[in-house]
Amino acid sequence: MPKFSANLSMLFTEHDFLHRFDAAAKAGFEAVEYIGPYDHRVEVIAARLKENRLTQALFNLPPGDWVKGERGIAVLPDRIDEFRRGVDTAITYAKALDCSQVNCLAGIAPAGIERSALETVFVENLRYAAERLKESGIRLLVEPINSRDVPGFFLNTSRQALEIIDRVGADNLFLQYDIYHMQVMEGDLARTIEQNLGRIAHIQIADNPGRNEPGTGEINYPFLFQHLDRIGYSGCVGAEYRPKSGTVEGLEWFREFARKAA
């Protein structure tokens, strides 16, 4: 059965960041993920993981200024040096947190530059990152994001992401498949996951519309969880949604899954 990870950037936000680890473990999660650990000393986060017997499932390469609306810098021609410094920083954290994979957010495409030129920058940055990460035994992921929630985001569909992965040609580069984003952009979820099972290293979930917890929208999550088990998906499933009426109140889907798995 899939192992679930709590996205601490969206869940348990009634607590300060470091206490969200405690809350996630208390709720029954085995792993955690979040935008990035970079605002905290790595030894502090490592201690929280150890105290709560949690696995660090994933975090992003430094994504730029999140508060100002940046969602990655990997396609930005004037930020290449910053991107590469960020790769080194991510490696330091990943090794200390025993995290085997990091995600690269492509970023919002700047106006006035041809897409082909941005794609070249993106591919070269991914090649650099994949090579550096491979030296430490870490996988690199890329994630398509829907154009409604993040207008202008460079990577919007699984096909685009897989074409980029093919062009990079690194054996440690995989797809992060966010079910919510891909329901908005393309649908056909179960078939797409099954056809690309060997290329997907991490899955994230939220329902649509609203990006709330499973069971609040149109996506048939009981079927999809059974499907992931049937096809042998062995990665983590990250709960990356906005709780509709509070985090604990919105975990009935998780408790029901745990009951069936017991």
Tell me how far apart the alpha carbons of residues 243 and 65 are, in angstroms, rounded to a whole number. 25
pLDDT score, position 257:
77
Tell me how far apart the alpha carbons of residues 173 and 209 are, in angstroms, rounded to a whole number. 30
Task: Count CB atoms within 10 A of the CB of residue 232.
Answer: 8
The SS3 of residue 71 is: coil
pLDDT score, position 261:
61
CATH homologous superfamily for 3-261? Answer: Divalent-metal-dependent TIM barrel enzymes (3.20.20.150)
pLDDT score, position 143:
98
Q: Which residues of 66-99 are buried (b: 16+ CB within 10 A; e: fewer)?
A: eeeebbbbbbbeebeeebeebbeebbebbebbeb
Q: What are phi and psi of 238, to 5 degrees?
A: -90, 125
Residue 68 in tokens = 């100002």
Tell me how far apart the alpha carbons of residues 64 and 79 are, in angstroms, rounded to a whole number. 9
For residue 242, what is the DSSP state? Answer: -
Query: Residues in the chain, how many?
Result: 262
Instruction: Name which of 224, 240, 220 is nearest 60 in CA terms.
Output: 240
pTM of the model: 0.95
Indicate the burial class of 199 (C-beta count within 10 angstroms; 0-12, 13-18, 19 or more).
middle
Taking the domains of the chain in order of start, what are their residue ranges?
3-261
pLDDT along the chain (262 residues), means of 10: 91 96 96 97 97 98 94 97 98 98 97 96 98 98 97 98 98 98 97 98 98 96 95 96 92 83 59
pLDDT score, position 116:
97
Strand partners, 60: 103
Q: Tell me which residues are annotated as active site.
A: 143, 240
Q: Tokens 């730029």, residue?
A: 64
Tell me how far apart the alpha carbons of residues 214 and 2 are, in angstroms, rounded to a whole number. 15
pLDDT score, position 245:
86
For the chain, the distance separating the N- and C-terminal CA atoms, rounded to the nearest angstrom, is 10
For the stretch 157-194, pLDDT in tens is: 999 999 999 999 999 999 999 999 999 999 999 999 99
